[in-house]
Structure 1
Amino acid sequence: MRQFLIGGQAFDGDAPELSARLEHAYAQKLRPLCRCKEPPLPMYIARVDDLYVIKRMPLSGRDHDPACPSYEPPYELSGLGSLIGNAIQIDASGKAALQLDFPLTKKGARSTPASRPEASLPALRNETKKLSLRAVLHYLWEAGELTEWRSSWAGKRGWGRVRTSLINAASQMTARGGALNDILFVPEGFHQDDREGIAARRAAALAGAYASGSGPRKLMVSVAEIKEFIAARGGQKIAVRHHPFPFMIEDGTWKRLSVKYETELELWRSSEDFHLIMIATFSISAGGITSIEEIAMMVVNEYWIPFESIHEQHLLERLSRLKRKSVKGLRFNLSREQPVVSVTLPEQHPAPVAMFIVPPGAGEDYERALAEMIEARPEITAWIWRVSEEEMPKLP
């Protein structure tokens, strides 16, 4: 039975009195300790749909026992490995300080980002020691535990749960010396009986994005589901779900965006079950127009799990029917020319399984990097699907 220490008192994970204790601990800002190992590991309490739940600290999953529900695969198998200690720094309180490679202010009049292609299309340079816009989205998804899935969760993860997970994850992060939550806007799901309350909360959340006076304009960050793209004068309007006003994007930026994210757009359009997620920096003019400065996108399946090819989606679909937990690996700053773990099965016995998909056309450099990655983690069993050579191998 899983056990926690809260304020020096031990609780079983299914103890009926734990819920009330968590509410009090949340108000007192106490950290629960997971007793899967000695010494116990610090965690934090998050509020999810009026319930109080215990979450692992950022980047602490690998420290838990493999049998613990809070265990997560080694981050060296994904694009997260090269960012730890550089772009992501964890302080003594467990907060993750993010080093960004994109600005959160805009000087002077708004101009096309064409002069800075890395800005309009988030940097995917492997040598960077800072987080691209796409990498921030991936980190929010991973820290929010939205990369995890088991079949018993079917029907329990909609936009409301996704939004709460993102906000709780951001509460443990800082950027440019300030709380990430202070500049993060995630649209709240619409409910007719609370439309006035939603509008008031939205207005308060967006207050920091409005242009005011002279000097650099502050930018906010939005994570939202794209509903559709609509042609507009000199650019495109991006309509997002649960938000009444479109985001404007200039024509030059849109053209580069549609080329850079051709694969994501193609996958999204292939099925009504898929969702297209954007992360963007934006500001709101004095006239009330919301304009995007930089943007990145990723496609997720019906369970909100990211994927980057139809082969990977086929694997996720197979795994989604299983009771055992699967954990999706993400690229962060890495390009498609470099291997990353597609999915990890942490509960597999006798050892966790790392699942790799080798895309068509992968060359010797890709295979060499994959072999080195597998050799570096001998405690994990590798499962490899070379899609140009065979059908999907039998699942472990």
Structure 2
Amino acid sequence: MRYFTICDQTVDETSPEFRALLPHAYEQRLRPMCMCKEVPVAMYIARLDDQYLIKRMPLSGRDHDPACPSYEPPYELSGLGSLIGNAIRIDASGKADLKLDFPLTKRGPGLALGAPTEAAEAGIRGEPRRLSLRAMLHYLWETGELTEWRSTWAGRRGWRRVRSSLLNAASLMTARGAPLSDMLFVPEVFHPEDKDGITARRTAALKGVEATGSGSRKLMMIVAEVKEFSTARDGHRIVVRHMPFPLMIEDDAWRRLAARHETELELWRSSETFHLILAATFGVSTVGIASVEEVALMVVNENWLPFEDIHELRLLGKLSHLKRRSVKGLRFNLPRGTPIVSVTLPEQKPAPVAMFIVPAGADDRYEQALTDMIGARPEIAPWIWRVAEGEMPRLP
């Protein structure tokens, strides 16, 4: 049982007083204090559908007691470690100030998709001081706690909840001196009875990126689920769910996208249960056509957990039936040849477990990097599946 201090009252999370305090504290933007340690840890209140939930502040998971549900595995085990203090900085209010590695303005009269740089083509940067578009998507997913799973959540996570989690996460971030939520568009779940309201909110949100003439114009970032790709008269269409119009992409840019994200597209097409998540920067022309500038793709399973290959998918499937919490590790800016934790079991006793999957083609440098990573966190018990050696080892 957890205890929180809210409005100068210390209450447990199962009490009627706790539930009664949350709406008022949410409206007043008060910070609940988790009492899991002698020095309380500040949290925030999120509204998901009609529920009020207490969530941890960005990068505060390691401040909680390991027995606390808000405890988070060390970020040094994932691609997040190299970004802390550089691309991601936490200010005194607990908000994350982000340095982005992709533009949110476009010069010139059109939205032509010019050839990206070599680094943008790969979707990563060797310099970890800025967030690539993929890393930005990963950070939103992680801060929104969409990397976490328990079997008791089965059937409770759909796009409505994913959207709320992403928007709540964005509300805790700033970039280029402005709230990230002002730069992010996440489509609402369509409901016929609220068609006019959804249209009005979407129109208001996109008004800032509508072209009015020549000169510099603003771009936005969209995070959405891809429904399908189709051929257009000139280029391709990216059709996303809950949007009445497609995102247009030119032929050359489409070919680069298909080559860069061949793995994600192959995995997505292999099963109807998977979802393909798109993060893209886009603008709207003077005639109202939405065209994308830069795109990153991420494939997730039926529980909206990201995975990189069939081996991770199998591991997530095994863990999905457990009541204990699992946390999926993400790559952010790191290339595929760099080891990261695949999944962490933070509630495992007597020590949290970090689960690593070593690909069949791993070389000596990969193995040494993995050894160094494990050695740097002796309080975490390693579990290693070397794919080249055969079947998955027994779970902890």
DSSP-derived class of the 2:388 partner: coil
In the TM superposition, what whole-angstrom CA distance separates every residue of 1:285-305 from its partner, at most 9, and x where no partner exists? 110100000000000000000
DSSP-derived class of the 1:114 partner: coil
Question: Counterpart in 2 of 1:108?
Answer: 108
Deviates more, 1:125-134 or 1:157-166: 125-134
Question: Counterpart in 2 of 1:267?
Answer: 267
Letter paired with 1:329? G
Letter paired with 2:153? W
Question: Counterpart in 2 of 1:130?
Answer: 130
| 1:191 Cα offset (Å) | 1.1
Question: Counterpart in 2 of 1:220?
Answer: 220
In the TM superposition, what whole-angstrom CA distance separates every residue of 1:339-388 from its partner, at most 9, and x where no partner exists? 00000000000000000000111111100000000000000000000111
Q: Determine the C-alpha separation between the residues in 1 that align with 2:294 and 2:122.
A: 7
Question: Counterpart in 1 of 2:323?
Answer: 323
DSSP-derived class of the 2:168 partner: helix
DSSP-derived class of the 2:382 partner: strand
Residue 51 (str. 1) matches residue 51 (str. 2): yes
Residue 358 (str. 1) matches residue 390 (str. 2): no
Letter paired with 2:115? A
DSSP-derived class of the 2:115 partner: helix
DSSP-derived class of the 1:222 partner: strand
| 1:253 Cα offset (Å) | 1.0
Question: Counterpart in 1 of 2:22?
Answer: 22
Q: Determine the C-alpha separation between the residues in 2 that align with 1:122 and 1:17.
A: 51
Given that 1:238 and 1:248 are in contact with CA atoms closer than 8 Å, whether structure 2 keeps it comes out as yes
Question: Counterpart in 2 of 1:11?
Answer: 11
Given that 1:95 and 1:172 are in contact with CA atoms closer than 8 Å, whether structure 2 keeps it comes out as yes
Q: Determine the C-alpha separation between the residues in 1 that align with 2:114 and 2:38.
A: 51
| 1:233 Cα offset (Å) | 2.7
Letter paired with 1:321? H
What is the TM-score when the length of structure 1 is the normalising length?
0.98
Question: Counterpart in 2 of 1:243?
Answer: 243
| 1:199 Cα offset (Å) | 1.2
Q: Determine the C-alpha separation between the residues in 2 that align with 1:385 and 1:40.
A: 37
DSSP-derived class of the 1:207 partner: helix
Q: Determine the C-alpha separation between the residues in 1 that align with 2:376 and 2:237.
A: 46
In the TM superposition, what whole-angstrom CA distance separates every residue of 1:81-111 from its partner, at most 9, and x where no partner exists? 0000000000000110110011110011333
Letter paired with 2:219? L
| 1:179 Cα offset (Å) | 0.5
Question: Counterpart in 2 of 1:313?
Answer: 313
Q: Determine the C-alpha separation between the residues in 1 that align with 2:239 and 2:377.
A: 43
Letter paired with 1:25? A
Letter paired with 2:69? P
Deviates more, 1:17-26 or 1:60-69: 17-26
Question: Counterpart in 1 of 2:148?
Answer: 148
The within-5 A match list for 1:326-345 is 326-345=326-345
DSSP-derived class of the 1:160 partner: helix
| 1:215 Cα offset (Å) | 2.8
Q: Determine the C-alpha separation between the residues in 2 that align with 1:188 and 1:63.
A: 34
In the TM superposition, what whole-angstrom CA distance separates every residue of 1:30-67 from its partner, at most 9, and x where no partner exists? 11000001210001111111221111000000110111
| 1:17 Cα offset (Å) | 1.9
Query: Matched residues, percent identical?
Result: 69
Equivalent pairs, count = 395
What RMSD over aligned residues (CA atoms) do the two structures have, in Å? 1.1
| 1:117 Cα offset (Å) | 4.1
Q: Determine the C-alpha separation between the residues in 2 that align with 1:243 and 1:125.
A: 31
| 1:151 Cα offset (Å) | 0.2
Question: Counterpart in 2 of 1:373?
Answer: 373
Letter paired with 1:206? L
Q: Determine the C-alpha separation between the residues in 1 that align with 2:160 and 2:119.
A: 32
Given that 1:282 and 1:291 are in contact with CA atoms closer than 8 Å, whether structure 2 keeps it comes out as yes
DSSP-derived class of the 2:267 partner: helix
Given that 1:122 and 1:294 are in contact with CA atoms closer than 8 Å, whether structure 2 keeps it comes out as no
Q: Determine the C-alpha separation between the residues in 1 that align with 2:184 and 2:20.
A: 30
Q: Determine the C-alpha separation between the residues in 1 that align with 2:158 and 2:122.
A: 27
| 1:74 Cα offset (Å) | 0.2
Letter paired with 2:392? M
| 1:20 Cα offset (Å) | 2.2
DSSP-derived class of the 1:46 partner: strand
Deviates more, 1:230-239 or 1:135-144: 230-239
Given that 1:122 and 1:132 are in contact with CA atoms closer than 8 Å, whether structure 2 keeps it comes out as no
In the TM superposition, what whole-angstrom CA distance separates every residue of 1:115-145 from its partner, at most 9, and x where no partner exists? 53434x3641233310000000000000000
Residue 198 (str. 1) matches residue 215 (str. 2): no
Letter paired with 1:350? P
Q: Determine the C-alpha separation between the residues in 2 that align with 1:13 and 1:122.
A: 45
Question: Counterpart in 2 of 1:258?
Answer: 258
What is the TM-score when the length of structure 2 is the normalising length?
0.98
Letter paired with 1:133? L
| 1:213 Cα offset (Å) | 3.7
| 1:197 Cα offset (Å) | 1.3
- Quick one: structure 1 residues 211 and 192, their matched pair in 2 at CA, closer, same or farther if it must change by over 3 Å? same
| 1:171 Cα offset (Å) | 0.3
DSSP-derived class of the 1:293 partner: strand
Q: Determine the C-alpha separation between the residues in 1 that align with 2:117 and 2:392.
A: 41
